[in-house]
Amino acid sequence: MAYNIPDRYQDLTPAPQLDKKTLNKMVWLSCFLQASFNYERMQSCGWLWGILPGLQKIHTNKEDLKASMAHNLDFLNTHPFLVTFVMGIVLSLEQNKADTKTIRSVRISAAGPLGGIGDALFWLTLVPITAGLTANMAMDRQIIGAILFLLIFNVVQFIVRFGLMYWSYGLGTKAVTLLTANAKEFTRAASILGIFVVGGLIANYGSTTVRLIVGETQINIQSLLDGVLPKLIPLLITLGIYVLIKKGWTPVRCIILILVVGIVGCAFGIWSGNSQVTDENGNALLGGYTPLVEWYEYPEPAPAEKTGQEAWDAVNAVVESLQEAGIDVSMPE
């Protein structure tokens, strides 16, 4: 039998303020927002699980608690790291025993803008900046790079979670006005910052280069491209993917295309790379690897320059051989 949610609670006496222990508990429970994700009501089960300790303290009347739990199981889809902002507002309304229709409409209006703001703040700004700071250490095989990335990211997100819970709970419905007033500007500014950071990462870490050597004079194509514009190939790849997405390609298709081009290009010796693989004599493989299809000859690497001691020993050997041949030669002091 369907449950008809009443418009008003039976006990309209405002509840006392929630204590810090309860607010903190709800912040930790908010981490499970998407643990019971479904396509009918999205995050509603995780939302109710997170906010339930507060509702139980606010509604001592069992029927009111029942009604509150029912309307808090409505459809909800918001950013998982910013959900405590919505929780604080809803808890403030529940505490003042606002009618259920008002609470439901405020919850939806507060949850909606957080998706774009959260994506711009975390995925387009925090993650690229944090990854840019720690990627070098990880690429140098220092495990502290990965640890620092996780530490910085999680410290920031929990500061945001706790801060938003207390701030929005204190402001109540005023927080919705503050959020919607500058939501577009904030999202656009964070997105632009994130795009700048991603562009910098492409310039620093984009390492796609060509291995091609052509002509009898063995012209290095990569050297010519570097003379025109360093990192030209990573730039062209990025712009090419951007054009494809604008034409309707999905990210998955773009990833598959990059994989196919990369594998085929390496098989034919088009892309260079440093696999750090050596031959049986301990010498590095030419061009970083041996392609499956060798349709051009890669030049032998130049001999390594001798150290000062090696050069001195070589000259001594020549002097000794000349002296043995009866030629009077002496080394300078």
Q: What is the longest distance spanned by two Cα atoms in the chain?
A: 119
Going through the chain in order, the beta strands assigned E by DSSP cover 213-214, 219-220
Claim to verify: residue 256 and residue 133 sit in the same structural domain? no
Contact at 8 Å (CB) between 205 and 138?
no
pTM, entire model: 0.60
* Pairs from 168-172 (Cβ < 8 Å, separation ≥ 24): 168/84, 168/85, 168/86, 168/87, 168/88, 168/89, 168/92, 169/18, 169/23, 169/87, 169/88, 169/89, 169/91, 169/92, 170/88, 170/92, 171/88, 171/89, 171/92, 172/89, 172/92, 172/93, 172/96
Of residues 279, 299, 280, the one with CA closest to residue 289? 279
What number is the average pLDDT over the span 171-191? Answer: 65
Asked if the structure places residue 29 within a domain, the reply is: yes
Same domain, yes or no: 37 and 173: yes
Report the alpha-carbon distance of residue 129 to residue 135 in Å, rounded. 10
Per-residue confidence (pLDDT) for residue 324, from 0 to 100: 77
Q: Is residue 83 part of a domain?
A: yes
Which residues lie closer than 8 Å to 300 by C-beta, 6 or more apart? 286
Buried b (16+ CB within 10 A) or exposed e, 233-259: bbbeebeebeeeeeeeeeeeeeeeeee
Whether residue 330 is contained in a domain is answered as no
Give the position of tokens 């493989």: 285
Strand partners, 219: 214
- Domain check: are 188 and 40 in the same one? yes
What local confidence, expressed as pLDDT, does residue 2 receive? Answer: 62
Q: Taking the CA atoms of 40, 46, 49 and 52 in sequence, report the sign of the dihedral they define.
A: negative
Indicate whether 159 and 45 sit together in one domain.
yes
Q: Are residues 102 and 85 located together in one domain of the fold? A: yes
**Residue at which a domain ends, from 187, 202, 217:** 202
Q: Are 165 and 26 contained in the same domain?
A: yes
Please check whether residue 238 lies inside any domain of the structure.
Answer: yes
**Domain-located, residue 333:** no
Co-location of 186 and 221 in the same domain:
no
Write down the pLDDT at residue 277.
54
| Both tokens assigned to 209 | 């280069």
- Mean per-residue pLDDT, 21-49: 92
Tell me the per-residue pLDDT of 262-308, one tens digit each, with 9 for 90 and over: 999 989 988 876 655 556 666 666 667 778 888 887 776 556 555 66
Give the range of the structural domain holding residue 270, as residue numbers without chain letter: 206-302
Q: Which of 148, 170, 202 is the last residue of a domain?
A: 202
Do 231 and 162 share a structural domain?
no
Contacts of 23 by beta carbon, 8 Å cutoff, 6+ apart: 54, 165, 166, 169
Asked if residue 328 is part of any domain, the answer here is no
Measured CA to CA, the distance from residue 333 to residue 38 in angstroms comes to 85
- The confidence score (pLDDT) of residue 286 equals 61
Among 14-18, 199-203, 253-257, 282-286, which is the least confidently predicted range?
282-286
Distance CA 122, CA 153 (A): 9
Asked whether residue 194 falls in the same domain as residue 111, the answer is: yes
- Tell me whether residue 136 is in a domain: yes
Same domain, 211 and 188: no
- Provide the domain count of the chain: 2
313 domain residue, yes or no: no
- How many Cα atoms sit within 13 Å of 237 on the Cβ side? 19
On whether both 31 and 47 belong to a single domain, the answer is yes
Q: Which residues contact 127 (CB under 8 A, 6 or more apart)?
A: 153
Reported as a single tens digit per residue, the pLDDT across 188-222 is 766 676 677 667 767 776 678 888 887 776 777 88
Residue 57 shares a structural domain with residue 180? yes
